[in-house]
Structure 1
Amino acid sequence: MPDRTAPDASSAGRLSRRSLLAASAGAAAALGAAGLPVLATGTPALAHSKDKGKSRLRVEPLIPSRNRGIILYSVRDRISAAPDDSGVPYGFERVLARLAEIGYKEIEFAGYTQSTEILGRQITPTEIRKILDDNGLVANGTHATIRADTFQQQLDIAEELGMANIGTGSDPTSSSYKADWDAAADTWNELGRQARARRMRLYTHNHDAAYSFLLDSGPLDDQGRPTRSSGVRRLEYFFGKTDPRYVFFELDIYWAYVARYKHQKYVDPAGREVTDLFDPILTVADRTTRFPLFHAKDGDRDTSVPNGYQMTPLGEGDLNFQQFFQTIGERDFHHANWEMDTAPGGTTNRGQSLDFAATSYRNMSDLTIYLKK
């Protein structure tokens, strides 16, 4: 497993292409109360330091180059494309070569198929592994279907591709009730043991609903189910029910901030409406080595849409990746996979997703940290 030594986070770098938003007063207060650094953003790094102090520091990438990845869902249009004369790469061989040329070192899979017009048949995991190796790429995970009856077959594919992690893009359950999350935890603990036996970690990826409130108390409905909440969020309940040796998580940073925007209130057992703000940084910082992977997905704040954000290439939105990654620490342990669900440009702009991949890689590379020499 990778080194888990946390860095000395002395001060923040910043993205050069867009000013970052400072944390809200509430988030800053929560970070301070937890003993975590509260970073000023939108100002030059080390602006408070004298030149003499700067000479005792060195600058390094906040996300090491070896840990910068992409989930292929972002470029799914080009992975699945049939041969065409657009000049834009298509299929695994050409797209992975382009991603390596951009600078990405790691790949998270979102399926293992391409157009059968490329080879006259479907590509095999063995052939995909050769393409990875030929381009100096490493598979760091996958969004597969996680079920007990097919899990060993999924592990076989993951092992062939050289993955350290195997996961899914879905929540362990979509239920609001404890009993369903308890059952999911039992299943995931067992599957996690199986993954560990084959030197892999099992992980689940969140959307915003995973951080909504569990219905676990209060009056029962006509089916005998609780209708109110004690204030526990679904996935945070799952953290406590699963074994940290066997079950891990991939935080989608964009969806976590959507959850902060959407899921702020619950009705307590006494029928009172309670406001509780979710902090994505704190939910990771409290259990940072349960999160080997992240989706580094950016968004523009837009309260005119239901989610409160519109997806953008990384570094062109309003999410504070600098503060996020520096505060959670464990710089060598964490792996950041760029994702943008809306990256494909369709037939009118076939190269858009790969162009966005290049922009996002450059901006990910711009995140820096100052360390003691």
Structure 2
Amino acid sequence: MDEVQQSRSNLTRRRILGASAAAAAVIGGAGGTVVATGPALAGGNGHGHGNGRLRAEPLIPARNRGIILYSVRDRITAAPDDSGVPYGFERVLARLAELGYKEIEFAGYNQHESILGRQITPQEIRKILDDNGLVANGAHTQINAATFTQQMDIAQTLGMKNIGTGSDPTNSSYTKDWDAAADLWNELGRQAARRGLRLYTHNHDAAYGFLLDAGPKDANGNPTRSSGTRRLEYFFGRTDPRYVFFEMDIFWGYVARYKHQKFTDARGREQTDLFDPIITVAERTKRFPLFHAKDGNRNTAVPNGYDMVPLGAGDINFQQFFQTIGEQDFHHANWEQDTAPGGAANPGQSLSFAELSYRNMSELTIYKR
């Protein structure tokens, strides 16, 4: 890492360790946890608190720090080469374990066939996980009635507790389609629960856009305006909390905050409503076992308002996010960066970003009495 990169890394790590006053207020009222605000807290002398020393703990427990393999998909699927960079499941998973990751979220189960002369099996992947002290915490796969039993079989072979998808339950703007999706997901969630699995869906920004559920109808009988209800938040209420769970992609949550601010109400008036990813989770925190800890730099010159960067190199306050939502032992954070692969010019980039992101994730700290 050159001097400029090292300087930027140090600056971003300092920023990521700071939580806002708003977060402090929420947490302070929730049970005696305080925010790291400076070196004095690290000493833990208890001055001004009256009940002893402060102790520092990881905000995200080491056992709950993971990665979705989509971030390093270029090396999982790479053919053997002479770059010196790990390739295939066996080598890449071993490297991720060396970096400190304890959990793996899958984004497919295939590697380059030339490694074994055939495709690897789920049983062989499970052995690689076990050999490296890794745990599978979920997967992005296709969720539908036709293949769900097969996908649950694979999940259980790999030792997962969660099974999910990277796609929204529906891409529709209409409640009728979200109702139909909820009926399916409630049923599949029951099937998953019977096998000790939690069914979850992952969001992109559109999932937190507004429903069209009010006002005049179009030629097809569909509403053309909105009550201000967001699509996935409607789905929260239509699905059974015992059987349907969620994985918030934090980056896409903040993109939704940037992109989906306005709607036209039933009377045709433009309304503004800011989406808050933290509050959305905090109000139902036990429905979010998994997160994509994906960072972004604000850039209003691009449609999403953010550019993806390694965790800790961007503007998203993960300290505030994870500290405010609480339940540290329940939540699992999977680092993701869609843009991590460096291509032929830089085949080691995705694993280098994985190293930096793990280090920054591990440095998130919470102080307790």
> What is residue 4 of structure 2 aligned with on the other side?
none
1:44 paired with 2:41, answer no
Equivalent residue runs for 1:343-362 within 5 Å:
343-362=340-359
Secondary structure in structure 2 of the residue aligned to 1:83: coil
- Tell me by how many angstroms 1:19 deviates: 1.8
Q: Are 2:23 and 1:19 equivalent residues in the alignment? A: no
Match of 1:253 in 2: 250
What is residue 302 of structure 1 aligned with on the other side? 299
- Is residue 229 from structure 1 mapped to residue 226 from structure 2 by the alignment? yes
Give the CA deviation at 1:371: 1.1
Identity in percent: 74
Contact 1:15 1:363 in 2 (8 A): no
Instruction: Report if aligned partners of 1:15, 1:367 keep a CA contact under 8 Å in 2.
Output: no
Shift of 1:187: 0.0
Give the aligned length: 356
Q: Provide the TM-score with structure 2 as the length reference.
A: 0.91
Whether 1:128 aligns to 2:125 is yes
C-alpha distance in 2, partners of 1:264/1:208?
12
Paired residues for 1:1-373 under 5 Å: 17-20=13-16, 28=22, 43-44=37-38, 51-53=45-47, 56-372=53-369
- Given that 2:12 and 2:313 are in contact with CA atoms closer than 8 Å, whether structure 1 keeps it comes out as no
More deviation, 51-60/119-128 = 51-60
The CA distance in 1 between the partners of 2:132 and 2:27, in whole Å, is 45
Gaps in structure 1 of 5+ consecutive residues: 1-13
SS in 2 for 1:117: coil
- 1:15, distance to aligned residue in structure 2 (A): 8.3
Deviations 1:96-154 (A, max 9, x none): 00000000000000000000000000000000000000000000000000010110000
Answer whether contact 1:18 1:316 (CA < 8 A) is retained: no
- Matched to 2:351, the amino acid is L
Give 4+ residue runs of structure 1 displaced > 4 Å after superposition. Answer: 20-25, 31-37, 39-43, 45-50
Q: Which has the higher contact order (CA 8 A, sep 6+)?
A: 1
Distance change (3 Å), C-alpha of 1:24 and 1:133:
closer
Alignment partners' CA distance in 1, 2:359 and 2:140: 25
Distance of aligned partners of 1:32 and 1:89 in 2 relative to their CA distance in 1, 3 Å threshold: closer
Give the Cα separation in 2 of the matches to 1:74 and 1:304.
Answer: 24
The gaps in structure 2 that reach 5 residues or longer are 1-9
Judge conservation of contact 1:21–1:41 (CA < 8 Å) in 2.
no
- Comparing 51-60 with 225-234, greater Cα deviation is found at 51-60
* Cα distance between partner residues in 1 of 2:293 and 2:322: 10
- 1:48 Cα deviation (Å)? 12
The equivalent of 1:11 in structure 2 is none
Q: Is the 8 A contact 1:253 1:297 kept in 2?
A: yes
TM-score (normalised: structure 1): 0.90
Q: 1:20 touches 1:41 (CA, 8 Å); kept in 2?
A: no
CA 114–328 in structure 1, closer or farther in 2 if over 3 Å, else same: same
Task: Give me the whole-angstrom Cα distance separating, in 1, the residues matched to 2:235 and 2:283.
Answer: 14
Q: Call closer, same or farther: CA 1:201–1:45 in 2, change over 3 Å.
A: farther
